[in-house]
Amino acid sequence: MGNRIYGCDDCQLVCPWNKYAKLSVEADFQTRHGLDSATLIKLFAWDEDAFDANTSGSAIRRIGHERWLRNIAVALGNAPKSPETIAALQSRAEDTSELVREHVAWALQT
């Protein structure tokens, strides 16, 4: 998983049919809400309302906020340690979700 948090883009990159695809000008296929340049720390700070607003119309929304946070916790655990990374993880150490807390604890121990 490395520092990945959602796999659809990776699938698109390796799909053999995509070698025939051309970039689309359709708005529905354009990058939204700066998701292509946001840091993991910024994404990890999203509350559920921000997650809903920033993933509106995107397949990412299917995983839900809780699993989004779990995936980012794993990605942060796999990232190089920094004071900012540790602070971001610690900010969710007492999250209401047991799933998130478990993965945050793992990330802080790695």
Question: For residues 32 and 59, is the Cβ–Cβ distance under 8 A?
Answer: no
**Cα–Cα distance, 56 to 92 (Å, whole number):** 24
**What band does 5 get if pLDDT is binned at 50, 70 and 90?**
confident
Q: Is the pLDDT of residue 36 over 70?
A: yes
Q: Is the pLDDT of residue 17 over 90?
A: no
